[in-house]
Amino acid sequence: MITVMCAALYAVGSYMTAYIPSPWGFGQFRPAVVIPAFFAVVFGPIPAGVGAALGTLLADSIKHGYLYPGSLIAAVPGNFIGFYLIGWFLWRRFSWNKFIIISNIGLLVANLIVAVLYVFAYKVLYQNQYLGIPGDALAAVAAGLTLFWFVTMLPFVLLITPPLIQAAVRAFPSLAHPDLVEALGRKIPGRELGVSMLGPGAVLLVIALSVSFTGLGGWMAGNPAFGATTKSVIEVLCYVCGAVLLALGLYFLRGEAGGKRRHPH
């Protein structure tokens, strides 16, 4: 029942943003990842992993109007592995520090699997597309998709999932295991939260600057896997997302430093 609930909620949430694509025209903006992240912490790896896999398949298939093979080949295994890992590391072994670290790792692993399988297994092998495009360009597309998904998902998971967990446990105390109850009485560490925003933000700004001021921009504009329009969208996206993540990181670090000054040990 819990797994079905996770799948249904994730499918609905994913479908709501299904028509906001990545710069390549495939792969969507998906803040709904907070749903399997929540289930991973509260209910464990199986409901989260299976629910995420079924939910993404439902959302993708409804969007395309048929059982979507791209989802079966790439999104299903990536979502299952990523959220199973998050649940395996955090369920009954929870702390806010671990939540931040494991969320970073789980999202990175999940998105890398989906991106590599979608580009190479689905697009190239299954659909016979991109056959004339060099391997380095395809690898760059997979890396770009991974980065796009990761940096657009991470802030939602780190900022929205904790309040959802806190609200659910307060409403239904029987859901909480001892580690989770103990963690809810503690403040989410601003330093770790800030660092997890600063790292991806800095990487995005480096990529944006490289596209603007090095040969990378010309290579992307002249490559059929990208093109001039896609190159421009990626450039703007990296600047905007990088600046937002850096601002959030500095905000949380400043808040942590201010708290320590007010409450010296």
Task: Give the pLDDT band of residue 92 (cuts 50, 70, 90).
Answer: confident
d(CA 166, CA 136): 44
d(CA 215, CA 85): 38
Task: Give the pLDDT band of residue 212 (cuts 50, 70, 90).
Answer: very high
Q: What is the mean pLDDT of residues 42-61?
A: 97
Tens-digit pLDDT profile for residues 57-68: 999 999 999 999
Tens-digit pLDDT profile for residues 251-260: 988 876 655 5
Asked whether residue 159 carries a pLDDT value surpassing 60, the answer given is yes
Query: Residue 15: how many CB atoms within 10 A of its CB?
Result: 17
Asked whether residue 261 carries a pLDDT value surpassing 70, the answer given is no
Q: Residue 102 in contact with residue 90, Cβ under 8 Å?
A: yes
65 against 134, higher pLDDT: 65
- The pLDDT, as a whole number, for residue 222 is 86
Asked whether residue 245 carries a pLDDT value surpassing 70, the answer given is yes
- The pLDDT, as a whole number, for residue 248 is 92
- What mean pLDDT, rounded, does the chain reach? 90
Tens-digit pLDDT profile for residues 214-235: 998 898 888 888 888 888 988 9
- The pLDDT, as a whole number, for residue 259 is 58
d(CA 265, CA 261): 9
- The pLDDT, as a whole number, for residue 256 is 67
Closest CA to 109 of 129, 134, 84: 84
| 11 φ/ψ angles, rounded to the nearest 5 degrees | -65, -45
- The pLDDT, as a whole number, for residue 262 is 54
Q: What is the mean pLDDT of residues 163-183?
A: 84
